[in-house]
Structure 1
Amino acid sequence: MRRILVIEDHRDLVLSIFNYLEPRGYILDTAPDGRTGLELAETQSYDAIILDWNLPRLEGLDLLHTYRERGGPVPVLMLTARDDIDDKVAAFRTGVQDYLTKPFALAELEVRLEALMSRKPVESRQLQIADLQYDLGTQRIVRSGKKLHLYPACRRLLEVLMRASPDTVTREQLERSLWGEDPPDADRLRAHIYDLRKVIDGPFETKLLHTLPRVGYRLADERMKP
């Protein structure tokens, strides 16, 4: 079953899309405004998103920019009356995979959705633990929508811990990741861990970086079951 999110404020159009796609086996959710759509896109699992440009509360292109900036991977089909080439270029550069102008045939919408969902997904270069995200390509680190700043040693520790999560990484493994086979004294690693914890956990209620005395460290949301 393919699950689609329709972010569109015109009820008659949404009803037409539902009436056409649901009998063909699609599961559809809808959002009547941009903020609701962004929240659903970031908290639910979808195979594709149909996105209108002109939306209340948050415009479609702004929604898409935020979604992609936070690592949102789901393919997006922009469905809009805007047919100017500059608008199309702006949409594709923001992260749209397909662009369909109104009015349109529902059969064509379905074919385009199928084409989107059949493409091989791009390999993700983003690590995520709970609300903490690390984009290895851009080196952007975000938690709960807030951009975080780490110096290179802490970024390296964060990458190692996120890749291993929820397993524990020993002190020796972390030291090797930073300094190879010739680590400095133990206080140096302890200082980096302190700096890392201050940035990724300090301002937030839920703590993700945990110390296992005489063993090492693990990065995980302890509220989640293993």
Structure 2
Amino acid sequence: MRILIIEDDPAIAANLYDYLEAAGYVPEHTADGVTGLHRAVSAQWSAILLDVSLPGMDGFTVCRKLREEARKDTPVLMLTAKDTLDDKLAGFGHGADDYLVKPFSLKEVGARLAALIKRHQGQVVPGALRVGDISMDPRTLDVERAGKVIRLPRKCLHLLQLLMSAPGQVLRRAELETAVWGEPLPDSDTLRSHMHTLRRALTPDGAANPIETVHGIGYRINAISDAP
């Protein structure tokens, strides 16, 4: 997923860039409003992180032009030192989807960004997920395989939901870790251990394993007919 960062403070921009890249996103940075608007309009983005106080064109104007002139509905999270209620209302009034005041936690940026992207993609209240003979109800987190109920720990349920939301696609380790634990983990054994627990639960009585390890990258779930 590609994220556009429009931020003129080089330290903040670098922190955001590094954090998002480690989380599995593909970030791009611009440092002024005019260039930022051009990039926002000329390419496809999963979301935009937008500062308000920018050289060339302020963030409010960038957001308004993005909505009214370019007719783009890309999710926009405003990041700014302006913290009054009027400032926040102005941000929403110009088309922002969310508003976060500086200084902020990178974890909160990641959580809000993920929520905006899910909402934009219509995944907030999704229907039942199905991959081969595995089904999951995201609202109740009930899991079945071939009609048999599967019991899973909470974090394994979250991992399974992420994998089943993108069947056949490789999800990077850092992306999974950030979604489940809030940040990439220094020790990959934690994710590996939870994946082992998930696989064991999904493969009773020697059933085929639907979760594939893509070595050096991450994991994906395949329909049972495609599983090795």
TM range (shorter): 0.5 to 0.7
Aligned-pair CA distance for 1:72: 1.1
Q: Which residue of 2 aligns with 1:68?
A: 67
Matched, 1:89 2:93: no
Matched, 1:117 2:117: yes
Separation in 2, partners of 1:54, 1:26: 25
Aligned-pair CA distance for 1:57: 0.4
Report which structure shows greater RCO (CA 8 Å, sep ≥6). 2
Gaps of 5+ in 1: 123-226
Q: Which residue of 2 aligns with 1:9?
A: 8
Aligned-pair CA distance for 1:93: 1.3
Q: Which residue of 1 aligns with 2:18?
A: 19
Q: Which residue of 2 aligns with 1:210?
A: none
Letter of the aligned partner of 2:63 in structure 1? L
Q: Residues 63-212 of structure 1: matches in 2 within 5 Å?
A: 63-70=62-69, 71-120=71-120
- Equivalent pairs: percent with the same residue? 44
Aligned-pair CA distance for 1:20: 1.2
1:52-93 CA distance string (max 9 Å, x none): 000000000011111101201101000000000001011111
Letter of the aligned partner of 1:69 in structure 2? E
Separation in 1, partners of 2:97, 2:17: 21
Matched, 1:55 2:71: no
Q: 1:115 to 1:56 in 2, by over 3 A?
A: same
What is the RMSD of the two structures over their aligned residues, measured on CA atoms? 1.1
1:174-226 CA distance string (max 9 Å, x none): xxxxxxxxxxxxxxxxxxxxxxxxxxxxxxxxxxxxxxxxxxxxxxxxxxxxx
Aligned length in residues: 121
Runs of 4+ aligned structure 1 residues displaced above 4 Å come to: none
Aligned-pair CA distance for 1:19: 1.5
Separation in 1, partners of 2:121, 2:84: 28
Aligned-pair CA distance for 1:121: 5.1
Gaps of 5+ in 2: 123-228
Letter of the aligned partner of 1:81 in structure 2? A
TM-score of the superposed pair, with normalisation by structure 2: 0.52
Q: Which residue of 2 aligns with 1:38?
A: 37
Q: Secondary structure at the match of 1:30?
A: strand
